[in-house]
Chain A
Amino acid sequence: MSFINYSSREINCKIVYYGPGLCGKTTNLQFIYSKTSPELKGKMISLATETERTLFFDFLPLALGQIRGFKTRFHLYTVPGQVFYDASRKLILKGVDGVVFVADSQIERMEANLESVDNLKINLKEQGYELEKIPYVVQYNKRDLPNAAPLDEMRRLLNPTGVPDFEACANIGKGVFDTLKATAKGVLTDLKRLGGGR
């Protein structure tokens, strides 16, 4: 749910990175953080365990520039991917404006990817959202690994509706900004559509 502030002429939106454990959600945010100039970003917060697994969420505030005199700010969140943190995942989806699904390309993680997409749909539904109706982008991460599943196969399983999707190696940044841009664009286009009335 976006927040439009006429007083400071700002629009704030929330994007959530979803996906199975160790798929690279936090790595996406870390890369964005490392490549964004200081005046455009806030502090990155990671609520993680001692072994650096996400415990609650990562958070990165980002300014993208101005549209018609309004500063556009995006708050990027990741969810904890591990199955047993489901209660936390639900909380982080509250008020979401756009979702990135980060899939792990390794063949042996395909089951975990599918389980996570199902979990995303269920959790969105609990908040009153439908995946088909919110801006949604799929990222196939870890494409550089030798055990990566064929892209066609991943598309067929994880992106049957043909939303924007990108191949990525988040650790070196490949595909990270393409994913973010597509998602931000989807969110802004959605705002435009909703602002015009239905």
Chain B
Amino acid sequence: MIDTPLVMYDDDHRKILAVLQRLVRDANAKGIFLVDKNGQLVAEAGEMRGIDSTSLASLTAGNIAATGGLAKIIGEEEFPIHFHQGQRDNLHITLVAGRIILVVVFDERSSLGLVRLRVKKAGAELGHIFEEIRKKTERAQAAGTASPFAEITDDDIDNLFSE
């Protein structure tokens, strides 16, 4: 494992959630999902609870990875903004801080212009939060306390598979 693991504490989650909830209101969005570039769902807000957010996260990450590959082929670094227009609902996808993907689902109650405007501000705020998280994780790793798994025993792992 070469990359730093993403470690999110309660206060990080609260800060992230506050930004997402404000974005839901400001952008008149139906739902907002924050996804790690590797396909893990980090946080969600809005009225779309109950949808298969795990699949959404994995497919979003796949989509970003594929278009990132396309970008490189034509000499671009990345396509940081994606927009998918549906009959009812639309998706606005942005890459934040090079590592996190912000997915906004919106319908006719909002508009692409409004979403883009609000996402820009929220994206910057999220960028700061994730930069803090990254630094915190690095500090914790240096101190040897990054993972709650540091203290687990081989027995703990074996017990997981004993059933």
A interface residues (Cβ-Cβ under 8 A, vs B):
1-8, 11-12, 14, 42-43, 45, 47, 56-57, 59, 61, 64-68, 70, 72, 75, 87-88, 90-92, 94-95, 97, 127-129, 134, 181, 184-185, 188-192, 194-197
A127 to B37 Cα, complex, angstroms: 14
Residues in B whose Cβ lies below 8 Å from that of A42: 52, 54-55
Q: How far is the CB of B158 from chain A (nearest CB, A)?
A: 8
Q: Which of B5, B10, B14, B156 is within 8 Å of A4, CB to CB?
A: B5
Whole-angstrom distance between the Cβ of A55 and the nearest chain B Cβ: 11
- Set of chain A residues within 8 Å of B38, measured between Cβ atoms: 1, 3, 14, 94-95
We find that the number of chain B residues with CB closer than 8 angstroms to chain A is 48
Chain A nearest CB from B151 CB (Å) reads 7
Chain B: which residue is nearest A72 at the CB level?
B160
Q: Which residue of A lies closest to B53 (CB)?
A: A42
B39 interface contact, C-beta 8 A: yes
What's the nearest-Cβ distance from chain B to residue A77, in Å? 8
What residue of chain A has the Cβ atom nearest to residue B151's Cβ? Answer: A68
The 0/1 profile, CB within 8 Å of A marked 1, for residues 53-95 of chain B is: 0110011001001101100000000000000000000000000
Secondary structure dominating the interface of A: mixed
Q: A91-B68, A181-B161, A195-B144 are in contact. List 7 more A-B contacts (CB 8 A).
A: A1-B38, A3-B42, A92-B62, A185-B161, A189-B157, A191-B1, A192-B152
Q: A12-B40, A128-B2 are in contact. Are A194 and B152 (CB under 8 A)?
A: no
| Residues of chain A lying within 8 A (CB to CB) of residue B7 | 3-4, 6
What are 22 A-B interface contacts by the 8 Å CB criterion? A1-B1, A1-B6, A3-B8, A3-B40, A4-B5, A7-B9, A12-B40, A14-B38, A14-B39, A47-B62, A61-B54, A64-B161, A75-B40, A88-B66, A91-B69, A188-B152, A191-B1, A191-B149, A192-B152, A195-B149, A196-B150, A197-B142
Check B152–A56 contact: CB distance below 8 A: no
Q: Give complex CA distance A143, B158 in Å.
A: 27
